Structure 1
Amino acid sequence: MEVDALTIVLTIAIAVVFALIQFNKSEPDIHPLLLEQQASVAPLRGEKESAVHRAKSVPAGSILVKAPLERIKTLYDVWQNGLEANPTGRCLMYMLQNQFSYVTESYEHVDKRIAGFGTGFITETNLKPGTETPVGIYAPYSQESFIAQQAFYRYGFVAVPIHDLRSSELLIEIANQTKMKAIVVAQKALPLLLQSLKDCSSIKTIFVAAIYISEEQKRIATQHGARILKFAEVEYNGCVGTLEAVKPEPSDIAMINFNTKSTSLSKGVVLTHANLVAAMTGFTGSLPGAKKFTSKDRLLSHFTNGDVIGTWMTSAMIFAGGSIVFPSGLMKNVLHDSQATTPTIFASTPIILEKIHEALDTTYGAGSSFKKAFASKLALLDAGRVTTTSLWDFIGLGEVRSRLGGKVRLVVTTNPTKPETLKYIRAAMGIHVMTTYGRTETSGIVTSRNMFDYSNDAHLGAPVSCNEVKLVDDPEGRYTSNDQPNPRGEILVRGPNVMKGYFKKPNATAVSLDSDGWFHTGEWGSFNGNGTLEVLGKRKKVKTDKGVSSPAHEEPKE
């Protein structure tokens, strides 16, 4: 039977109309009822306390989540899982110095580098593996700092990230507190380190991620009883006859984190392997099943070595056998880095996301087609839908999405991020966003906002599955658990992600970590009717080992 031209045209037209209806349907991504109660709330509560809130997956009476699998107990186990899952797959992507081309390395190759640097490190320093010896990492987020950190996990050393590369005072105080005997340093931070060596007498070996080290720099190091070695040479030499791993225990210290942006040193937070594995598990558990990380995912993160979120985000990607991008570190290259590497997961700070929003809005915001497309996508967002398949995604917003590489499916950030920026990412770019709240003392995570909660409410989401949260009354009566319409008080957190304590500060530890294992955050909060947490501010200062200071409060980074 012959089909005339009119029939063909009508069939195509019907198909197009049907497709447009499907693409532009306004059915929400999640049933609204599922957002009305996002936490599990204990039926009983203590005197002058709110009810304990948990993730819905771990109600009262059940055990908080510690690890993704029974056999995964340390960060060394996390690496081994990724290696076994994707041995020949892409693991690292990083830019060569002074070039705009990216190098890629497989899990098998990176594993050899980790063992090589670890072996070379032990040979050059004569430090004994498995002794929890602190080692500094005075370098930005890079392939060298990643290799070093993984090597320390493999051989039982403790990573001490120092993320402020401008303050000699912080460097000196951290080095002297921990009595570190070795440090990995970026080339740009080497001059400041050398200037500080006279006050850092414990440092004897410096591993520099650099192509060139001058004779003058070597002379200065020698003058202060230290040696300078090239990171790459130590790694290369160690690849011959690598040492067997000295597997850490879950209770072993993995990191001492002095996370501060001021000129005064904050307390060193002691985090174990178990703490950081629990934080990674809590985050991945908050991802919907279809959105979990896989070996096909690629993470581009702007969180530094000093941000614990960077550790568990990277660990989550490694566990899945996915790949990690190390960006150039320059704000002007943020979009270029993403376009060149096409990540699927984009983890970044609020300020960087807001600058991306500002730059894209300046470029595209005045166009009439963009305005129409954005307005239509905002309407879909208000109806509870984030999509990249609407008609407007094809004719008005495709180029906007491509500025992050075109493949980003999830943005992970912290609070506070401006609502306008979150709307822009979800509507104009069609990308889901998860915002998290945490403290360094809780391994960087306490709550996570539901990926499908697109409301403008200021809440921080519900507790993740590795910890529980409650509020306690203010002794002066400012906030109480009986407040209406919602209970208020100081935020307390308990779970396997909560720190071991503050480094060599038992008094400060006792102030912040009570006998029942609850960490007192020093921040006021409120539980909303749907079980989510909102931060209201910070407590008054309390006494610690060094006198009077804020109880570990910092601008939310983790």
Structure 2
Amino acid sequence: MFDDLELNVVTYTLIALVLGLMILPVIFQKDPDIHPMILNRQSNMSPVRNPKESPVHRSTSSPPGYPLVSGLGLPTDQKYRTRDGDIRDVWNQAVKEGKGKVLSVRGSEIKELDIDQLTQNIHSLGSYIKSIPGARRIAIYLANDIENLVASFACAFYDLTLVVLPFDPKSSPDVASLLKRSKADVLIAPAGDLALNDVDGASSIKEIIYVVEPGSQHLDWTSPDGKVKTSVYHDVIKTPSTGAGNVDLDGPAIIVFGSKYIGEERSIEIAEFNHKQIIAGVASTIASIKPGPETLKPDDIFVPVDTLSDIYTRIFTYAALASGTTVALNPVAGVHANLELCIKHVRPTVIVASTSTLAYTASDAAGSRMEIWHNILHYFQCRTLESGRIPKGNALIRFNDYTRPNVGEPSRLRLVFSAEVAGDPDSHPLNSEDLNDLRACFGARVVYGLKHHKVAGPINQQHVYDYRVQPQTPKPSKKKDIPRKCAHFGGVTPGCEVFTRDWESFKASDAGGSRGEIVVRGPTVIGGEAPLGVAGKWWPDGVLSYV
């Protein structure tokens, strides 16, 4: 039978090619980052549910019958008991567990700040404010810089309420009305950023502490009319400190502002968090990414690209400090920040960014894929993601690569966190294809979730290793003719539980998955329970999405 076969160079080449295509993929095949079956069950459901409600969904690490994560589990004098802690313990853990590093980044200038000196500044500022008669509520209108961090923990140590005014380098809120609504007693703000008539509209302000740039510290910053006393930050932190005293853990600790939407009407809502809710959010955030290799570690560098006036970003920053991670603060950070300007000189390993920043980054990178080689490269990167792995690339790819965000060379970025604002019609939602584009673009894991200004930290959060492209669902929008798509938000975080309640035409008994208004409750939620005013749907694998 084989006697008549004539084998030549072409025949041997074809045989070798066929065998290579069959054998080489088996030899060089790599396992996915996680077993695919683990992604098929991302939430635990309660065995019993109330009428007109879906089953209560919880994190797989805190199933029904077990307590929700509510604290850091810090040691006590009694051997087998722990305590939850409060906001002060976030800074104490940073001093204890960290390497003593907080970085202030301004352009290419990176200044390393000694954490012991910052502790002294915290107590000096807190002592000074505590000595002001009647000062209880301290408003800060500050960028993501070291003064923001010092003022935040000064309020925590000296039993003062921190009022975080919205701050974005590209826009300014109505500061006068927000100060008046919050009944703030002291304002800490950059010198020259606010007009005096803005502050005059808030009659409760007793003193303004100006943060002055080094080049302008020789100027006189006293108020010309003398109605409101003024002082400067660089002098205040030189004053002697006094004892901090006790702290009311149930009283308001941090006040933030969030948007509330009723139909097409938008209003600003005040949210008051106490120490217990904040620390529960910090502990839940840490627990949502541990145990495992992706947990926050002391050798990480964390950069909040979004503004610290967002409670989600603030909680992640506190979680990084409590984990001993180096935190790098950049004043150009904000909701619409340029990602490269914030991180390229720092080479971070973990960042938190707004959906609008990531949407712009993804669009900018997609526009640079002009050559056919770039599209072929991106196709195979997406194939790698479909197989469950992050594409890292090699020297051949980098030789003729498309334009990617400059995150420092070589890149150390491994985790990118972002979350959709629940019910916000003006946000920039990301679908699962956008997320995979970003994963291929960064060579890092991008984690998407859901947030709300009444909840400390993320409500739902995708699994770190979930790279699946799933059917997209439309996001609520004012523009009914332009459907907006949004990826699912993953499973529930360990500090809260989530369910849907019958709402309008959406029912818990709907075929294909329970639907209804999303309701969150737990120790991270103001008042213990908060309906979000937006419809959601549960999928069979326990992930939540918009309807």
Change (3 A) 1:485 1:107: same
Residue 340 (structure 2) pairs with residue 335 (structure 1): yes
- 1:48 matched residue in structure 2: 52
1:161 to 164, 172, 175: 164
- 2:492 matched residue in structure 1: 463
Residue 310 (structure 2) pairs with residue 302 (structure 1): no
- 2:95 matched residue in structure 1: 83
Q: How many Å separate the matches in 2 of 1:391 and 1:215?
A: 53
Change (3 A) 1:449 1:350: same
Secondary structure (helix, strand or coil) at the match of 2:282 reads helix
Gap runs ≥5 in structure 2: 1-23, 74-81, 421-428, 471-486
Q: Is the 8 A contact 1:74 1:249 kept in 2?
A: no
Secondary structure (helix, strand or coil) at the match of 2:203 reads coil
Report matched runs for 1:340-419 at 5 Å.
340-363=345-368, 365-388=369-392, 400=404, 403-404=407-408, 406-415=411-420, 416-419=429-432
- 1:493 matched residue in structure 2: 520
- 2:467 matched residue in structure 1: 454
Report matched runs for 1:91-130 at 5 Å.
91-95=102-106, 100-123=108-131, 125-127=132-134
Q: How many Å separate the matches in 2 of 1:111 and 1:525?
A: 44
Name the amino acid aligned to 1:31: H
Name the amino acid aligned to 1:74: D
Name the amino acid aligned to 1:82: A
Change (3 A) 1:396 1:496: farther
Q: Is the 8 A contact 1:71 1:77 kept in 2?
A: no
Secondary structure (helix, strand or coil) at the match of 1:284 reads helix
Normalised by the length of structure 1, the TM-score is 0.80
2:140 to 123, 137, 153: 137
Runs of 4+ in structure 1 deviating by more than 4 angstroms, as ranges, are 20-24, 164-169, 213-217, 261-265, 330-333, 389-399
Q: How many Å separate the matches in 1 of 2:237 and 2:341?
A: 30
Q: CA RMSD in A?
A: 2.9
Change (3 A) 1:494 1:23: farther
Q: How many Å separate the matches in 2 of 1:151 and 1:77?
A: 13
Change (3 A) 1:333 1:518: closer
Q: Is the 8 A contact 1:471 1:525 kept in 2?
A: yes
- 1:210 matched residue in structure 2: 212
- 1:525 matched residue in structure 2: 536
Q: How many Å separate the matches in 2 of 1:93 and 1:24?
A: 44
How far does residue 134 in structure 1 lie from its aligned partner after superposition?
A: 1.5
- 1:6 matched residue in structure 2: none
Secondary structure (helix, strand or coil) at the match of 1:525 reads strand
1:313 to 306, 311, 316: 316
Q: Is the 8 A contact 1:72 1:78 kept in 2?
A: no
- 2:481 matched residue in structure 1: none
Name the amino acid aligned to 1:230: V
Gap runs ≥5 in structure 1: 1-19, 501-516, 537-558
Q: Is the 8 A contact 2:347 2:407 kept in 1?
A: no
How far does residue 249 in structure 1 lie from its aligned partner after superposition?
A: 4.3
Q: How many Å separate the matches in 2 of 1:261 and 1:185?
A: 26
How far does residue 359 in structure 1 lie from its aligned partner after superposition?
A: 3.2
Change (3 A) 1:441 1:336: closer
How far does residue 167 in structure 1 lie from its aligned partner after superposition?
A: 8.5
Secondary structure (helix, strand or coil) at the match of 1:445 reads coil
Change (3 A) 1:402 1:434: same
- 1:14 matched residue in structure 2: none
Secondary structure (helix, strand or coil) at the match of 2:344 reads helix
Change (3 A) 1:367 1:108: farther
Normalised by the length of structure 2, the TM-score is 0.81
2:35 to 31, 38, 44: 31
Q: Is the 8 A contact 1:90 1:107 kept in 2?
A: yes
How far does residue 429 in structure 1 lie from its aligned partner after superposition?
A: 2.6
> How many residues are paired up?
483
Report matched runs for 1:502-541 at 5 Å.
517-536=528-547
Q: What percentage of aligned pairs have identical amino acids?
A: 22
How far does residue 106 in structure 1 lie from its aligned partner after superposition?
A: 2.6
Change (3 A) 1:272 1:74: same
How far does residue 215 in structure 1 lie from its aligned partner after superposition?
A: 7.6
Name the amino acid aligned to 2:151: A
Residue 453 (structure 2) pairs with residue 424 (structure 1): no
| Alignment deviations for residues 396-420 of structure 1 (CA, whole Å, 9 cap, x no partner) | 6598475455111100011222444
Q: Is the 8 A contact 2:190 2:211 kept in 1?
A: yes
Name the amino acid aligned to 2:507: T
Q: Which moved more, 1:213-222 or 1:136-145?
A: 213-222
Report matched runs for 1:245-256 at 5 Å.
245-256=244-255
Change (3 A) 1:376 1:79: same
Change (3 A) 1:214 1:206: farther
Name the amino acid aligned to 1:520: P
Name the amino acid aligned to 2:228: A
Q: Is the 8 A contact 2:311 2:457 kept in 1?
A: yes
2:72 to 68, 71, 77: 68
How far does residue 346 in structure 1 lie from its aligned partner after superposition?
A: 1.5
How far does residue 357 in structure 1 lie from its aligned partner after superposition?
A: 2.5
Q: Which moved more, 1:244-253 or 1:262-271?
A: 262-271
- 1:276 matched residue in structure 2: 278
Change (3 A) 1:135 1:418: same
Change (3 A) 1:178 1:351: closer
- Structure in which a larger fraction of residues adopt helix: 1
Change (3 A) 1:324 1:305: same
Name the amino acid aligned to 1:482: S
Q: Is the 8 A contact 2:164 2:257 kept in 1?
A: yes
Q: How many Å separate the matches in 1 of 2:282 and 2:317?
A: 9
Q: How many Å separate the matches in 2 of 1:117 and 1:38?
A: 44
- 2:242 matched residue in structure 1: 243
How far does residue 219 in structure 1 lie from its aligned partner after superposition?
A: 3.8
Q: How many Å separate the matches in 2 of 1:105 and 1:281?
A: 26
| Alignment deviations for residues 490-543 of structure 1 (CA, whole Å, 9 cap, x no partner) | 11111000114xxxxxxxxxxxxxxxx43222111111111111123xxxxxxx
